[in-house]
A and B are shown apart, each in its own frame.
Chain A
Amino acid sequence: MKLLVSWLRELADVRLPVANLASLLSMRGFEVAGIETVEGRADDAVIDFEITANRPDCLSVAGLAREAATACRVPLRLPWDEAGRPISTARPVPCPTSSRRAADGLEVAIEDADLCPRYAAAVADVRIGPSPGWLADRLTATGVRPINNIVDVTNYVLLEMGHPMHAFDLERLAGRQLRARRARAGERLRTLDGEDRALEPGTLVIADSAVPQAVAGVMGGAAGEVWSGTRLVAFESAYFNPASVRRTSKRLGLKTEASSRFERGTDINAPVIALKRACGLMEQIGAGRRVGAVIDVYPAPRGPIEVTLRRERIPRLLGTAVDDAEVVRILTGLGFGVADTPGGWRVQVPTVRVDILREVDLIEEVARHHGYDRVPYHFPPLRAVPPRPEPGMARKNLLRRVLTAAGFSEAVTYTFIDAADAEPFADGNEPSVPLAYPLSEKFAVLRPSLLPGLIESVAHNRRHDTRDVRLFEVGACFSPSRGERHRLALALTGGGVPEHWAGGHRPVDFFDAKGVIERVGEALRLPLAFTTVTTPYLAPGRAAAIGVGTVAIGVVGQLIPAQSERRGLPGGDEMYVAELSLDAIGRLEPAGDIQVEPLPRFPSIVRDISIVVDEGLRAEPVRATIRRAAPSTLVSVREFDRYKGKGIPEGRYSLSLRLTFRSPDHTLTDADVQGAMGRIMEALAQEHQAIQR
């Protein structure tokens, strides 16, 4: 809302310099977006206020003037008679019919009073021409283009009072009628902006006896527009249902000065006052003369609401007491009717204040004008034991620690992604959850997995010349059948170890990725098992399902080159990825503290063994055979070399394992271990045709 300061000064005797006035109103909740100077007027300026959605009354000079007058403790001088407002009068007399006829044959009818509770109109005999300079200047300064004296008068009243009006060329209205009714199927209207618009049935329109002439509260029609040849004008000044205007404005994609006020709520008692103000102004500038009386169709008049304000609630909410006199001064200044009661006040709310519905709203008014800075600082006492933190969050923080310690940096990627990127990563054959109206194709569906975003982030780094990339993310994924699920994902490419002058550099491989997952398992105290798996986005033979017992918790493997290449990564660069379900982990993680094992009291004996076996044989069955054949003193089996090539027959490979034996209650002898080794070797030969090297 652009406010011309000199205009405000006309309504309230506020002499503060512009900057102080801006700051004064800002401290009362009217954010200042900018201040522009007015050419040739050093003492004037246009202050651009951001008016919050609850204060449509301040989308007007009068509304802001009332705030400024209250803040400065000066009277408000409105250029119209406030007597019509219900604060100072009894309830208006209901009008028995919903249709009235006026001078020059204008007939006004409300057919749908739920959407249009009040419709006032007046007829004027006009001479269309340009507005006088002062009026045009005020409109221009406030950002409204002058059109002709009649339209300008309605816009002037809109800016001054905040009440939107419309002017029709009466002679172009069929039957000289204005009817507030819902649009009928198939009805169309060419609006003032030249667009031919289809009107959805149910849209409130202002029609003549035949066709719609305006989209009520949003924009008038081109056919009934006031033009240079207009001789008779019908002024409309109505109250429209805010929700209805809002729906219509949204549906038509049409936001106007009028609609933005109607949809927030205008003053239901303003129509007649605004009409009189407009007619007065019209006569003042010599643009025309009202003919006959004002028509006011108002089937069910509404009175002002009354709200009780209890004295004791003010300090209970604000934490500071406010003097009674100050409370009364503020509320009265803002236009409220205030009557004393034993416990406080009975407050009559002016109908222009559509935001004031209950006691707490009044306390805010008092607080705003009393000053938030006058409320002290206090720290609330803690009266209950704070609950324990959510276990899921502690787990995520643990995983963050483990992964950063493993060289992975944390990524945060978008929750919505490209549908084509998502597709290979969806569980089963489920499609991804689409957004109804995505911002773009890039943000079309909710991610079914963290991997597409993470892979894109790896690719981003590669495109910017970072070769070694290790990223992880913790976050939510979505599926149509199961909703929101939480996961951990990681991706790595480039070097398996950081580049160093002493050498040792090698590219990442499957075991770098698996090692990290193993560490995650350790941190979570979960015994992980890796089994072969086929996954559309992982390279066959380099992919493993991760499980705990019979529960699958994730996958790890090499991303298929086609996926990396899609993101512009060099095809030769291997990227490894893994994803774990945090929901599954949450159900499996052991409860309770770690229980320490006593340190061994007796020394251990280590034996290395090298065997030659068939190429197709995996390490896991070898380990299993050893464990089965060994006595309980075998405490660990670890592979330490795998060799193929010279000295090993074609189709076979050599596997070296380190076995550690230890007894909890005595020192083992060489003879004990020798016997065990014999049995182990025998079992390996029998079960796997292993030959000792």
Chain B
Amino acid sequence: MPDAAEIERLRAEFQAALAAAATEQALREVRDRFLARKGGVIASLMKVVAGAPPADRPLLGKLANQFKNDIEGALDAKRALLESGRPVVGGVDITLPGRQAPLGHLHPLTHVRDQVEAIFSRMGYEILEGPEVEDDYHNFEALNMPPEHPARDMQDTFFLGQPVPQLGLATPGTRVSTRPAPLDRPATLLRTHTSAMQIRYMEAHEPPVRIVAIGKVFRRDNPDLTHTPMFHQFEGLLVDEGVTFADLKGTLTAFVREIFAPDIKVMFRPSFFPYTEPSAEMFIGCVFCGGDGCPVCKRTGWLEILGSGMVHPSVLEAVGYDAERYTGFAFGTGIERVAMLKYGVDDIRLFYENDLRFLEQFTF
């Protein structure tokens, strides 16, 4: 009478036969011996099980079936193993490298830019570039920085040796505006921030305004680990009725959580920008030490990530908005800064060397 012990004995017998089978032929013989429909070990076992007393049948049947499945699995695995070592006529050395169509890589600044644009587009912001050469009015004066304003020192400027014609608002957006076309002044400097574009946009549009201006900006800094005379910035502006500092905090927190990490800590601290009041600097928990303190965050556990604030009423008035009715917030930061934090880049100059050994690390 078969019992569990008998099945275990057969199992041991199979294991020994399987281990001994060194060729595909030998393996086929093992398969025939155990699985042949007629006279195979399993077939015989099944017959015996069928004749067992009804009380024993369910358990024995289950054990026998499991045994059969185990045998099939083990045979397949062993066969695959033997086949892989088999020389094939007309086969190829599949371990040689494949033939790759050449593939280029986007610049890491573009990767960051794409993410910034995607996040803010989803929040309903229009993305704009604007001219890189500007006039003094749009770059400074309309932003509450009249001539001799000490804040102009914060952004030491490159002036052009000769004025050049100004493109103005390259694409005037799609919203119909009844505003007169802004006065076009020849460009005399390289913009020190993308805020100039915010003025151009407001000159041409009525609120509500939701824009992100993104692109190159220029400041007189000699190149070193953390400075280059040219870098990229993005600056957002939202002007509408009832916009508050709480909206600023909510929006920017949503942004940094998406671009860095969903659980990142944030902190807002008072600061000064001539075109916002109140002004705030936004900090995130250090992405390198998680807030424990390290050389990158100067042991504070915090990294400064964005400058922001409520749009100064003088700025709204400069473009003819009713500063009693409308409020707004503005924010901005360097794309290089975000890229350096995200990707662990410790020398900003790498972004401008265009060394393929650097660029090719940004796969997709």
Contact = CB atoms under 8 A, between A and B. Distances in A.
Contacts of B244: 315-320, 378
A26 B269 CA distance: 8
A391 B126 CA distance: 12
A408 interface: yes
Contact of B351 (A263, A376, A412, A498): A412
A53 B272 contact: yes
A409 B159 contact: no
A483 B279 CA distance: 34
A403 interface: yes
A387 B126 contact: yes
A406 B220 contact: no
B222 A501 contact: no
A17 B158 CA distance: 44
Contacts of A427: none
B352 A412 contact: yes
A472 B150 contact: no
Contact of B171 (A383, A391, A408): A391
B253 interface: yes
A407 to B, nearest CB: 3
Nearest to A412: B107
Contacts of B160: 433-436, 446
Contacts of A484: 131-133, 164, 167, 187
Contacts of B245: 317-320, 367, 372, 375
B335 to A, nearest CB: 10
Interface string A338-376: 000000000000000000001011011001100011011
Interface string B171-191: 101110000000000010010
Nearest to B247: A380
B160 to A, nearest CB: 6
A246 B146 CA distance: 13
Contact of A380 (B121, B161, B250): B250
B309 to A, nearest CB: 9
Given A378-B249, A404-B106, A484-B131, A414 B230 contact: yes
A392 interface: yes
Interface string B81-102: 0000000000000001101111
B208 interface: yes
Contacts, number: 267
Given A379-B251, A437-B159, A410 B272 contact: no
A361 B148 contact: no
B22 to A, nearest CB: 34
Contacts of B269: 26-27, 29, 31, 372
B278 interface: yes
Contact of B356 (A443, A461, A478): A461
Interface residues of B, number: 92
Contacts of B159: 435-437
Interface string A109-122: 00000000000000
B25 interface: no
B110 interface: yes
Given A410-B110, A464-B355, A53 B154 contact: yes
Given A416-B230, A502-B99, A392 B104 contact: no
Contacts of A358: 313
B31 interface: no
Contacts of B250: 377-380
B327 to A, nearest CB: 6
A376 B246 contact: yes
A548 interface: no
A433 B162 contact: yes
A178 to B, nearest CB: 25
A531 interface: no
A380 B244 CA distance: 8
B29 interface: no
B103 A407 contact: yes
Given A372-B270, A412-B352, A480-B164, A318 B246 contact: yes
Contacts of B319: none
A392 B129 CA distance: 9
B164 A433 contact: yes
Given A390-B171, A414-B352, A404 B271 contact: no
Given A378-B244, A380-B238, A472-B104, A387 B218 contact: no
Contact of B104 (A28, A404, A434, A478): A404
A406 B216 CA distance: 26
A93 B127 CA distance: 57
B52 interface: no
A411 interface: yes
Interface in B109-131: 109-110, 114, 121, 123-129, 131
B103 A404 contact: yes
A387 B169 CA distance: 15
B277 interface: yes
Contacts of A514: none
A156 to B, nearest CB: 25
B133 A378 contact: no
A35 to B, nearest CB: 11
A37 to B, nearest CB: 15
Contacts of B158: 416, 435-438
A377 B245 CA distance: 9
Nearest to A247: B148
Contact of A405 (B104, B121, B126, B150): B104
Interface string B137-170: 0000000000110110110001111101111001
22 contacts: A26-B269, A27-B270, A246-B148, A318-B244, A360-B277, A364-B277, A373-B267, A378-B246, A389-B126, A390-B173, A391-B171, A393-B127, A404-B106, A410-B110, A412-B354, A415-B132, A434-B160, A471-B354, A472-B104, A476-B216, A482-B165, A483-B166
Interface of B: 96-97, 99-107, 109-110, 114, 121, 123-129, 131-133, 147-148, 150-151, 153-154, 158-162, 164-167, 170-171, 173-175, 187, 190, 208, 210, 216, 218, 220, 222, 229-230, 238, 240, 242-247, 249-251, 253-254, 267-272, 274, 277-280, 310, 312-313, 327, 351-357, 359-360
Given A375-B249, A376-B246, A377-B253, 17 more contacts: A52-B271, A360-B278, A364-B279, A372-B268, A373-B268, A380-B243, A387-B126, A407-B103, A410-B107, A412-B354, A416-B158, A433-B162, A439-B222, A461-B354, A475-B216, A481-B164, A502-B99
Question: Can you list the 5 inter-chain pairs with the closest CB atoms, starting with the nearest?
Answer: A319-B246, A407-B102, A319-B244, A29-B270, A434-B161
